[in-house]
Structures are given as structure tokens and as C-alpha cells.
């Protein structure tokens, strides 16, 4: 049996512009500092947040980011959920492959974000958009 994840604190950020992406990054950075993440772990989760928030704005047409302070089995962490109502990702497997891009970039955004965090989950439908959830646990 897996221990349940408990949410101690939550804040949501609208994602509709580059300024919103900056505010989301700042929120994650501040909470990472508040719970005592190492500088390296903080940098990793902020970098992943930046990429995923930007994807929400650019590819998803905007959406919402919810930041949560979570606990499980005596560990603290940051869980960050990104939701958009865009066209969805038709081939998630391909999108998670290094080098695959539909936007003319380098194709390292989603797989790169996955490598920066401890937990990564993505769901996407044409009717419901995309939801990405990441967690960085405090060591």
C-alpha cells in the first residue's frame, strides 16, 4: 500500500502571458526555499516549472498552475500541476522523446522537465487539453 499524499498548502497561478510564467517561477522558487530544498533541487524544480508554464502559455493557449506543499511518509515536497484547455498532445510517447518537436524548438522541453523532477505524470486529450503534474521531494 502506498502512503497517501497530504496537501498542506496550495496556491494557484493563472498562465496567460510571459509575466505569468515569471510569477509562477517566483512562487515555486520561494516555496522551495521555504521548505529547505537544496539549491540544486530548487533550481531543478524551478527550471521544470519554467518549461511547463511556458508550454501551457504557448502550446496550450493559457491555463492554470497549482502549486502545493505536500507530505508523504514523513517527506515534504512541492507538487506543481499545469492544466490547459488547448488542442492536446496527440502522441504523448513521441512528445516525451528527446528531439521531437512540433514548435520548431530543440525538442527537449517535456523530456528535460521529466528528468529534473522525482515524479512526472502527463495526460492529454483533444477535448480536455493537457495536464502535467510534477513533484520534487526534499531529500
Q: What does the pLDDT read at residue 103?
A: 62
Q: What does the pLDDT read at residue 7?
A: 96
Q: What does the pLDDT read at residue 92?
A: 84
Query: Residue 8 belongs to what H/E stretch?
Result: strand 6-15
Q: Which residues contact 135 (CB under 8 A, 6 or more apart)?
A: 70, 77, 78, 79, 80, 117, 118, 119
Cα 38 to Cα 44: distance, rounded to the nearest angstrom = 10
Residues of the chain with pLDDT under 70: 1-2, 99-108
CA torsion 19→25→30→31, rounded to 10°? 130
Q: What does the pLDDT read at residue 107?
A: 45
Q: What does the pLDDT read at residue 131?
A: 97
CB atoms within 10 A of CB 36: 11
Q: What does the pLDDT read at residue 99?
A: 67
Q: What does the pLDDT read at residue 100?
A: 64
Sheet of strand 75-84: strand arrangement:
6-15, 63-72, 75-84, 129-137, 119-125
Q: What does the pLDDT read at residue 11?
A: 98
Q: What does the pLDDT read at residue 83?
A: 97
Domains of the chain: 6-137 (3.30.565.10)
Amino acid at each position: 500500500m502506498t502512503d497517501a499524499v497530504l496537501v498542506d498548502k496550495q496556491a494557484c497561478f493563472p498562465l496567460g502571458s510571459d509575466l505569468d510564467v515569471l510569477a509562477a517561477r517566483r512562487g515555486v522558487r520561494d516555496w522551495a526555499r521555504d521548505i529547505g530544498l537544496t539549491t540544486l533541487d530548487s533550481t531543478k524544480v524551478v527550471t521544470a516549472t519554467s518549461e511547463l508554464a511556458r508550454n501551457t502559455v504557448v502550446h496550450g493557449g493559457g491555463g492554470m498552475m497549482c502549486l502545493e506543499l505536500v507530505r508523504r511518509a514523513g517527506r515534504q515536497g512541492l507538487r506543481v500541476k499545469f492544466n490547459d484547455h488547448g488542442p492536446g498532445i496527440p502522441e504523448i510517447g513521441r512528445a516525451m522523446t528527446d528531439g521531437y518537436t512540433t514548435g520548431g524548438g530543440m525538442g527537449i522541453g517535456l523530456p528535460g522537465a521529466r528528468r529534473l523532477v522525482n515524479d512526472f505524470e502527463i495526460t492529454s486529450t483533444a477535448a480536455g487539453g493537457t495536464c502535467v503534474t510534477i513533484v520534487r521531494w526534499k531529500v
